[in-house]
Structure 1
Amino acid sequence: MAHTTAPATGDTPSDHSSGESPRLDLDAYLARIGWSGRREVSAETLRSVHRAHLRGIPFENVQAVLGSAPSLALPDLQAKLVRSRRGGYCFEHNTLFAAALEALGFGVTRLAARVRVDAQGAVRPRTHMLLLVDVPGESRQYVADVGFGSIGGLYEGIPLEVGVEVRGGGRAHRLVREPHHGLEDLWVLQTFQDDAWSDQYAFSREPFEHGDFEVINWHIATNPRSPFQHTLFVQRTTPEAHLALVGHIMVTTRADGTREKRELSDPAELRRVLDSDFGIELPEGARLEF
């Protein structure tokens, strides 16, 4: 997919050199995802905000395809994902979601995972971000992840417990343990698809910091060998279906498991689909070509 680069709101990192830590505009964020529940710190709040974020903000890697790594600075994420008709990929989504959960009163640890979808046994680097969430008053922790660009991604936060099956939004997930030579066995997220459980990614509970994700983000967005650098990936979850666009192939998967696949005809149709089906307004002057 050929591309040209054009700066736009949310795509050009702003200057945050004042030394003050930026704060999330929680009201604007909750309005963006359409959530208006009681702001109490509970597992149900975690699950419902997770679902609302997944439905409210699309997954997309437009900026990487246009030639640069997106900023992970909170003001830039708010400008792009909250105040614009845009989305982002895992580092953007989960950095924003972590800030929202912390503003609501949850404890959050940032983790990194090795994606296993289509890995065919290969050991990939840790290039996916997810969150481990503490709910005050509860002894168990929860895994949250609003940025996995696949129908196998979590629909809501799930307990960090072995073998507990969680179903919702036409999806089913569980966590299993796997022996590992590190300090603890691995946790593996699995989803039930095509009549079988399949691995999505594997992770440990080692905390990762913002700087770690800055490096991984740059690698994923700019390395010529990274698929995110040259192939458009767009996802959106609705109450009725999951929409996935890879390059110019559109797949709609409904809650009953039925799929519809079609090929977009030209760049003009691509732009229309991004706008109408995914709620994404491309940066002014940007061209995404076949």
Structure 2
Amino acid sequence: MTTTPAQDGLTATEAPPRPDVVDVDAYLARIGAERPARPDYEALCRLQERHLMTVPFETLDFTLGEVPSMRDTDVLDKIVNRRRGGGCGELNSAFALLLRALGYRVTLLGGRVLHNGKHYFRGVHNGHMVLRVELEETYLVDVGFRWASRRPLRLRERGVQTDPHGEYRLVHTPDGDVEMVHDGVTRWRIEMHPRDLDDFNAVLWYCATSPDMPGAGQLWASIVTPDGRVSMFNRVLTEYTDGVRTDYRTLTDDDEFLREFENRYGIRLEKVPDLAPVTEGV
């Protein structure tokens, strides 16, 4: 573990790159990206966008009663070799491995999200993971959240940051946390001190197994499209284009569900998981 001074005066604790673990070429092929000539801001933007548009957020493991693993070899196998997606911790920890192997300085940050932007922060601390990337200034990167920006967010910027997904603003709280506001709705709150990967394991187990967790045992899936996103909550499919809901339907037929899930998220299922009926999408 190495320690480097961050641009914002904080101390960034970084795990060393793991080129022996990360097959960079295979990972880049998985997200349809070229190897960058250098670890700069422009390349980071391309990598983040390609990741969001090719690797879905999905909680299939939760529907099977399985606890996902964030061990580096496990997340890389799941995302790169098996062409699956994963939860926020899996997606962001895997992306951190890729970025570090490409020469970026990356720190894991932990926090919590709002449930659909409507309720106060739910769940325990470290229920969400965000990456802090140090370049000429400090950026926040998130590839594991359906409301995430498609480009890195400048940590020091107090005003609106315009993005293909809307308007974003980072609010620095009096106690040192940072809240992300998307189109006027607060979506997550992140603590700024560095976290180790082990800090998230207990939370992942809780999210996968606790009946008190919102949506526990249910299927959540989302992926970015060129004009918006496609999300699924159990059998309810919702598509947004340019901020407008353009598709909203319940996939009651199993064959239709399996076909849509593969077409939208690139994941072939042998059968539909046992999903509880829901009346509202995401």
- How does the TM-score come out when normalised to structure 1? 0.82
Quote the Cα distance in structure 2 between the aligned partners of 1:162 and 1:233.
32
**Pairs within 5 Å for 1:56-135:** 56-117=54-115, 118=117, 120-121=119-120, 124-126=123-125, 127-135=127-135
Q: Aligned letter for 2:182? A: T
Matched, 1:262 2:260: no
Which protein has greater RCO, CA pairs closer than 8 Å, 6+ apart? 1
Quote the Cα distance in structure 1 between the aligned partners of 2:275 and 2:218.
11
Report the Cα offset of residue 168 of structure 1.
Answer: 2.8
Matched, 1:178 2:173: yes
**Identity within the alignment, %:** 30
Report the Cα offset of residue 70 of structure 1.
Answer: 0.9
Q: Is the 8 A contact 2:63 2:275 kept in 1?
A: no
- Structure 1 equivalent of residue 6 of structure 2: none
- Deviation string 1:197-254 (CA, Å, 9 cap, x unpaired) is 1101111211111111111111111112223432110101111331010111111000
Segments of 5+ residues of structure 2 without an aligned counterpart are 1-17, 277-282
RMSD of aligned residue pairs (Cα, Å): 2.1
Q: Is the 8 A contact 2:57 2:221 kept in 1?
A: yes
Q: Is the 8 A contact 2:55 2:85 kept in 1?
A: yes
Matched, 1:143 2:143: no
Q: Is the 8 A contact 1:67 1:229 kept in 2?
A: no
Report the Cα offset of residue 106 of structure 1.
Answer: 0.8
Matched, 1:231 2:218: yes
Greater mean alpha carbon deviation, residues 252-261 or residues 23-32: 252-261
Greater mean alpha carbon deviation, residues 115-124 or residues 43-52: 115-124
Residue 219 to residue 101, structure 1, CA distance change in 2 (3 Å): same
**Pairs within 5 Å for 1:245-284:** 245-282=232-269
Residue 273 to residue 84, structure 1, CA distance change in 2 (3 Å): same
- Structure 2 equivalent of residue 190 of structure 1: 181
- Structure 1 equivalent of residue 163 of structure 2: 168
Q: Is the 8 A contact 2:25 2:35 kept in 1?
A: no
Correspondence for 2:186 among 199, 207, 224? 199
Greater mean alpha carbon deviation, residues 119-128 or residues 42-51: 119-128
- Structure 2 equivalent of residue 36 of structure 1: 34
- Deviation string 1:9-61 (CA, Å, 9 cap, x unpaired) is xxxxxxxxxxx996111100000100115331111111110001000111100
Quote the Cα distance in structure 1 between the aligned partners of 2:22 and 2:95.
10
SS in structure 2 of the partner of residue 277 of structure 1: helix
Residue 122 to residue 88, structure 1, CA distance change in 2 (3 Å): closer
